[in-house]
Structure 1
Amino acid sequence: MIKLGNLTYQQLQEKFRIKSPWDMIIIFILNVLITIPIFIITHHNLATLDWLFHIDRIVLFLLILLIIQLILRAMRRVTLISVILYFIVLSYGTLSGKYGFEKVYEDYRSMIYTMNDDPYPQDIIISKLLPFPNKSKIIDAIEYQNPKIRNFAIMATSKHFKNVKGYNDYFTLIQSFAVFKEINSRWYYVSDPKGHDYIAKATESLQYLSGDCDDHSIFMAACIKSIGGTVRLIHTKGHIYPEIFIGTQKDLEKINYVIKKTLFPLESKNKPINYHIDERGNIWLNLDYTAKYPGGPFMNEEILGALTLE
């Protein structure tokens, strides 16, 4: 008989067993959460029969709900243990200020909203499941609260665009562009050791302003975040680069004007502003180390993963 401490496996099962009817309620709630995205994918990929009151889609939803319910019930023990472990992990994440219940809700709501309008909703789920390489190491390396990082960012804001007037609503963005100008005008690309993916902390990169694409992204993100900007890192094929949050299409039009007319007129002359629109409709501008101005050309358009730094 298997024992853990003084408890047998059967005693552990009994200790963590969820009694009826709560086990069925939990399974049904989980069923609904799983069914909704599957229904959206199926709805987009199956021809509409145009039945009265959309009965075909009602039947489709109920059929998916029934199938998922039967599967979850057949795997009830595994399902309930998984739910308990999931809640423990999310509780820890919530208490420690990391990925918790609120983040899960936001991600789920955002995913469903986007899937509903996207012609290929399955791609949304695939993109959410794709891992961001070295995520925990990268987050730890973005030392935006380090005084040396903030001092460097403040130096950049004092050196560039200090006298630009008339854009009070975009004050932090213009200061972030000053940081971009300082870093990208001085950055020197140096590869990682052969066969190893070395993640340099922001304070390491500060010393010589050198490193590869992930080192640049970490340093850029740390500096911009230290002065109140919002950044995310984009993972694409063999490359990572930073993007800065702009806002709406209206914000983009104003930022496009100030970049081309005031901040980077020579670098951006007759060139497009490159950006991405996320699942919430927010616009993010490219800040890659290869760009000579905010919104410069992408090295690779395809997004394999995004790490947003709140």
Structure 2
Amino acid sequence: MIKIKKINFQGIKQKFQVAKPWDDVIIFVLNILIAIPVFIILHQNLINPNWPLNIDRVVLFIVMIVVIQVLLRFMRTIILFCIILYFLILIYGSTIGNYGFNSVFEDYNSIMYTMSDNPYPQDIIIAKLLPFPSKSKIINAIEYQNPKIRNFAIMATSKHFKDIKGYSDYRTIIQCFAVFKEINNRWNYVSDPKGGDYIATATESLLYFSGDCDDHSILMAASIKAIGGTPRLIHTKGHIYPEILIGTVTDLEKVNFLIKNILFVNESKEKKLFYHVDERGQIWMNLDYTARYPGGPFLSEEILGALTLN
């Protein structure tokens, strides 16, 4: 007779079991790591009732912690398997460029920053979960090292604000604003072909200064990066627009003075500047094609993702 060995489930169970009290510690840490991305996803997709002090979101986070803690306790016998699975998911997300280790770290900072006593919580970007649309195509289309883009940007800096003196610390930003002025003064909005999303390269849009919002954003980002600025693209519902890194609150005060008193006096007269503050406290200013001056009104404010070009 053929003897069939019995599988020692008890032995397998013990191999995946962590000794006390470390199992409780690991469960709690894993709980936090899981809760952060889940909370961000729910935060993005649930209607915000606008309760004072974001109490609804605080309650949501606490409920999530409790539920996940209970579930993990039921699974404590295979806790090592859960950890391995979690890290495999993050490794996969990091590899394909979606949600990975960096995203978890940044979203954790975002949550802490949002829950702090910040006077302008509406300016904080905490949503970076959804895949940026056509990300690889857009990155490839931002040809900031192409000589044609570089030469165009240099032409713009020679044409606008060349004689501004006394602001050497903000020379690069002033020159990027010159690029903004040149592009937005000439931009002609043209829709994509029906039934398709056409991604034009920066050099392609440079021919006629025409295209839709993503074409404008690509050309703006490429031109700004070509002369040392730091741009990023913001994805909202049905829209993409560019922003430029301004820096700190002190930098914002200087830039605000420059825009309203020297560079875009008529365009910005008696108007406010629109910008976002990220989870690190850095200020990004709107450069959309609909804006007549840097920091002009947002066309769409609900942010679904950000693509930063470092």
Q: TM-score range, shorter-chain basis?
A: 0.7 to 0.9
Question: Which 5+ residue runs of structure 2 have no aligned equivalent?
Answer: 1-14, 44-53
Give the count of matched residue pairs: 276
Kindly tell me: are residues 46 and 277 of structure 1, through their superposed partners in 2, closer, same or farther at Cα, counting changes over 3 Å?
closer
Which position in structure 1 is the counterpart of 2:175? 175
Which position in structure 2 is the counterpart of 1:111? 110
Q: Give 1:85's match in structure 2, choosing from 78, 85, 88.
A: 88
Which position in structure 2 is the counterpart of 1:237? 237
Distance of 2:65 and 2:237 partners within structure 1: 40
Distance of 2:95 and 2:237 partners within structure 1: 33
- The one-letter code of the counterpart of 1:117 is S
Kindly tell me: are residues 36 and 275 of structure 1, through their superposed partners in 2, closer, same or farther at Cα, counting changes over 3 Å?
closer
Work out whether residues 202 and 215 of structure 1, in 8 Å CA contact, stay in contact via their aligned partners in 2.
Answer: yes
Indicate the SS of the match to 1:127: coil
Work out whether residues 129 and 304 of structure 2, in 8 Å CA contact, stay in contact via their aligned partners in 1.
Answer: no
- The one-letter code of the counterpart of 1:86 is I
Indicate the SS of the match to 2:127: helix
Work out whether residues 132 and 306 of structure 2, in 8 Å CA contact, stay in contact via their aligned partners in 1.
Answer: yes
Work out whether residues 176 and 224 of structure 1, in 8 Å CA contact, stay in contact via their aligned partners in 2.
Answer: yes
TM-aligned CA deviation for residue 21 of structure 1: 5.0
Kindly tell me: are residues 116 and 47 of structure 1, through their superposed partners in 2, closer, same or farther at Cα, counting changes over 3 Å?
closer
Indicate the SS of the match to 2:216: helix
Which position in structure 1 is the counterpart of 2:276? 276
TM-aligned CA deviation for residue 170 of structure 1: 0.8
TM-aligned CA deviation for residue 27 of structure 1: 6.2
Q: Which moved more, 1:23-32 or 1:186-195?
A: 23-32
- The one-letter code of the counterpart of 1:277 is V
Which position in structure 1 is the counterpart of 2:151? 151
Indicate the SS of the match to 1:257: helix
Which position in structure 2 is the counterpart of 1:228? 228
Alignment partner of 1:67 is 2:63: no
Distance of 1:37 and 1:218 partners within structure 2: 29
TM-aligned CA deviation for residue 79 of structure 1: 3.1
TM-aligned CA deviation for residue 65 of structure 1: 6.8
Indicate the SS of the match to 1:300: coil
Which position in structure 2 is the counterpart of 1:56? none
Distance of 2:72 and 2:259 partners within structure 1: 54
Kindly tell me: are residues 148 and 68 of structure 1, through their superposed partners in 2, closer, same or farther at Cα, counting changes over 3 Å?
farther
Which position in structure 2 is the counterpart of 1:53? none
Distance of 2:93 and 2:273 partners within structure 1: 39
Distance of 1:172 and 1:191 partners within structure 2: 32
Question: Which 5+ residue runs of structure 1 have no aligned equivalent?
Answer: 1-17, 49-58
TM-aligned CA deviation for residue 76 of structure 1: 5.2
Indicate the SS of the match to 1:129: coil
Which position in structure 1 is the counterpart of 2:285? 285
TM-score under structure 2 length normalisation: 0.73
TM-aligned CA deviation for residue 138 of structure 1: 1.5
Q: Deviations over 1:160-219 (max 9, x none)?
A: 111111111111100100110111111111110011111111121122211101100011
- The one-letter code of the counterpart of 2:217 is S
Work out whether residues 276 and 284 of structure 1, in 8 Å CA contact, stay in contact via their aligned partners in 2.
Answer: yes
Work out whether residues 39 and 60 of structure 1, in 8 Å CA contact, stay in contact via their aligned partners in 2.
Answer: no
Which is bigger in relative contact order (C-alpha 8 A, separation at least 6)? 2
- Identical positions, percent: 60
Which position in structure 2 is the counterpart of 1:209? 209
Indicate the SS of the match to 1:245: strand
